[in-house]
Structure 1
């Protein structure tokens, strides 16, 4: 399995290192964080290919990190002798018998690390030294990749020309499932792994025989007529024959069918599900790397649930999975302990979670834990009315909504505060928690979650018992009954406490849309100041 990934100078990554989990890796991050780039870099180093073509064929100037190139151009134009930018991707593997042919110490680790591994390097081609020297007299931001070459080597410094059989890799991108002439490159590779050499040879021979038979059937009359045209120079007969060259192999003509419909014409969600199932069902004796991009795309909730169950059932000890996702449902269902939070030049594993907490969110996969992972700061509240009121108070104090400062407000919706706080602690996020005192001393309420609270980082804010047991009486206590009635447009004929308790969300909505500001309860004001500052 992969123990470490290093990416230098490739696309968004200037210098990036990640130590993945041994089995499942759930890769999440904001937009442009580099999730897809990471998957592409790993696939590139494992297979030597991208988009079904060799790295040298796909090489272009936009592979290079723009800041590295800009720095290089600036230094060169300033007269400094700066070396041309390069791309370097390294994949480190655990020491396993079947990977010993890849073992060596030719890698960038310091101190020296002898282990199995592969590297892919894009560097200037010495054969074009004169042309590069001429280009360097007036360098441009678009590098002359025509003068570059791609080196794919093992850590033993052996050149690799074809993917080593130990590195069977399946790549499933459910965002854009490409199907050209029936089978795309990745599906053809997956299906090929299900056939042994004898089966492939038998199918190929039968395919040639079928094509050859057409010369004696459908093409016979046509060839007789063409043969009488004397179109060639030296009285040689012209005839139509089925192409038997190797480039017309059977793989390009055979395609799976789903309920009698060609694979390429089935829905994209169906295509992704089939490719994932085929990839993960391969012979368990092989060391497989399965890379799945956003499995939630093109799938209904029911279909996604079915697919995730299939992934869980098919996962084996011999496979290492890398899954990118924008879905909290996928994240919760497959397990929060596998989360990897990715940024442009950093990757952070979630701190160890209690297995019970992982299981807790697996049973409640609808809760938006992904928002917790991606937010800069978090405010946890008990319900939607608390969320609406806090947002209004925050805007009154600071002039903008919390989200404009990267502060996300999440309603726990009845979830256990302890579980939510443990996850926030594992993510190491600044958190303000607001809750009702329910007539209990706040000191007593803090005790069950004290281990997850850290002054200045994660704090719990509870209103005093004297001001009211829930949000609504707290609002009345700090604003007076007459003022609250005026804001809510409630006449004296109605009992205010009863109405507010019965219409909690409507109360919050009317306060949020009112032209009048309210005086915030002290604990909410302190929470706003804490999370803002």
Structure 2
């Protein structure tokens, strides 16, 4: 299992350290937060390859961190002599007996850390020093990667030429699961690992026999006719034969089928589900690390539920899972305690969330916890009408929408206030929470959740009982019944409070869209001022 990942100079990661959970890791973050890059870096260090090709075949200047490259070029043009930018990816592994062959202290940990691990380093090749010196006369941000080299070694300082058998990894990218060649590299690798050595040998032998029979069969009369052409320079006749080299092995010719349809022609959701299932069903001795990117892609809600059930069923204590997602359903189902929030060079981990709260959200996987996690600041309200009115109040106060100020207004939709506040507290999210008093004094309602409040980043706002039990009488009390009747277009014969309680959302929309002035209830105004400055 990977205990620590250290990445320097690779893509968006300038200097990044991440300590994953031993079993499940759910990676979330905005677009370009580094989720895919993190998985790519892990795969590079484990395989020494990317997309089935060697590092040096795929290396390009854009692999290097743009900020570090820019600093290097600026310093060189200023007459300084900084070292060329490099890439370093280190994977620290659990100190298992079977990994002792990889154990050593050749890593960047301070103080010295002797443990199993592997690293991949990309750096300038000293053999090309003359070319590098020539390039430095007019440096640019496109580094001369042609003059770079790569080393892939264990922490024991032994060169690796292939992935250690005990560090097998399966990578499934549901976003680009369809392959133009029918079966992509990762699926071939997974399928191959499901076959025994004897089975592979038997298939290979039969495949060679089939190709040989074609040479002796259908190609025989063709060769006889070509032999009469005297096309060769010497007396030896030219002939056609089936290619028996490794590049035409059976692995490149065979393709799986799903219900008699070639795999590449199956639905994208079906392809993703098959690849994930095959990867996770491999025996723990054959696959230690499974990385899945956005399993929700191409799947209906029902199919996603089935797939997540399968992931939970197939996962074992001997497998370490890394799953990136933009789906709240995936996050809630697989467990908030496995969440890692990526923001480019930083990662935040939920460590203090209680098991009861984790199970609570697992039972309610439809709640938009991911939206809450990714927001810069949040205002939690009880329902849609509160959300609509708060948006209007905030705009009236500050002449901008909450979202423009980096504030997301989210309805709790009946969820327990304590659970939502615990989540905000655990990830240190600035939050203003509003709720009705329902006839109970605010101090009494505050007591059960005061442990999650600090008055600076998280606070609870409740209207006074004297002003009304819910939002509607609070609005009437703040604005006067006559003014609200004009805003809503309600005749005097109708009971305003009853109408507003019955038509909560419709009334909120009419108030939000009205050109008439609105006086905000005191607790709502206080919440808006608090969250803007939190």
1:184 corresponds in structure 2 to 184
Q: Secondary structure at the match of 1:459?
A: strand
Structure 1 CA distance for aligned equivalents of residues 181 and 327 of structure 2: 32
In structure 2, C-alpha distance between the alignment counterparts of 1:44 and 1:302, rounded to whole Å: 34
Deviation at 1:405, TM superposition (A): 1.2
**Which residue is equivalent to 2:345?**
345
Query: Which residue of structure 2 aligns with residue 74 of structure 1?
Result: 74
Q: Distance in 2 between matches of 1:238 and 1:130?
A: 48
Q: Secondary structure, in 3 states, of the residue corresponding to 1:85?
A: coil
**Residue 226 of structure 1: aligned partner:** 226
User: Equivalent residue of 1:443, what SS?
Assistant: helix
Unmatched runs of 5 consecutive residues or more in structure 1: none
Question: What is the match of residue 489 of structure 1?
Answer: 489
Which string of whole-angstrom CA distances, capped at 9 and with x for unpartnered residues, describes residues 54-84 of structure 1? 1111100000111101111111111111111
Matched with 2:148 is 148
Shift of 1:478: 0.5
Matches within 5 A, 1:83-482: 83-286=83-286, 288-482=288-482
Q: For residues 490-529 of structure 1, what are the structure 2 equivalents within 5 Å? A: 490-529=490-529
Q: Given the alignment of the two structures, is residue 50 of structure 1 paired with residue 72 of structure 2, yes or no? A: no
Q: CA deviation digits over 1:455-514, x for unaligned, max 9?
A: 212111000000000000000001000100111111212221111011000010001111
Post-superposition Cα deviations, 1:403-450, rounded to whole Å, max 9, x if no partner, equal 111111110111111111111111110111100000111111111212
Deviations along 1:354-383, one digit per CA (max 9) or x if unpaired, are: 111111111111100001110011111000
SS at match of 2:176: coil
Q: Judge conservation of contact 2:122–2:148 (CA < 8 Å) in 1.
A: yes
SS at match of 2:525: helix
| 1:3-42 mapped onto 2 (5 Å cutoff) | 3-42=3-42
Whether contact under 8 Å (1:175, 1:293) holds in the other structure is: yes
Q: Any conservation in 2 of the 1:3–1:19 contact (CA below 8 Å)?
A: yes
Distance 1:179 1:199 in 2: 26
User: What RMSD over aligned residues (CA atoms) do the two structures have, in Å?
Assistant: 1.1
C-alpha distance in 2 between matches for 1:286 and 1:248: 26
Deviates more, 1:491-500 or 1:13-22: 491-500
Structure 2 residue runs of 5 or longer lacking an equivalent are none
CA contact (8 A) 1:167 1:287 kept: yes
Aligned residues: 533
Range moving further from structure 2, 365-374 or 345-354: 345-354
Instruction: Give the whole-Å Cα distance in 2 for the aligned partners of 1:89 and 1:291.
Output: 17
Distance 1:2 1:110 in 2: 18
Alpha-carbon displacement from aligned partner over 1:195-233 (angstroms, at most 9, x marks no partner) = 222111111001101111112333233333333333222
Q: By how many angstroms is 1:287 displaced?
A: 5.1
Report Cα offsets for 1:155-181 as digits up to 9, x if no partner: 011111111111101111010114243
How far off its partner does 1:326 sit?
0.3
8 Å contact kept, 1:390–1:524: yes
TM-score normalised by the chain length of structure 2: 0.98
**Which stretch shows the higher mean deviation, 262-271 or 338-347?**
262-271
Indicate if the aligned counterparts of 1:286 and 1:318 stay in contact, CA closer than 8 A.
no
Contact 1:182 1:254 in 2 (8 A): no
Contact in 1 for aligned 2:193/2:286 (Cα 8 Å): no
Residue 246 of structure 1 deviates from its aligned partner by 1.6
Query: CA shift at 1:397, angstroms?
Result: 0.6
SS in 2 for 1:447: helix
CA distance in 1, matches of 2:179, 2:319: 25
Contact 1:182–1:253 at 8 Å: present in 2 too?
Answer: no
Is the partner of 1:166 in helix, strand or coil?
helix
In the alignment, the residues of structure 1 paired with residue 254 and residue 248 of structure 2 have an alpha-carbon distance, to the nearest angstrom, of 11
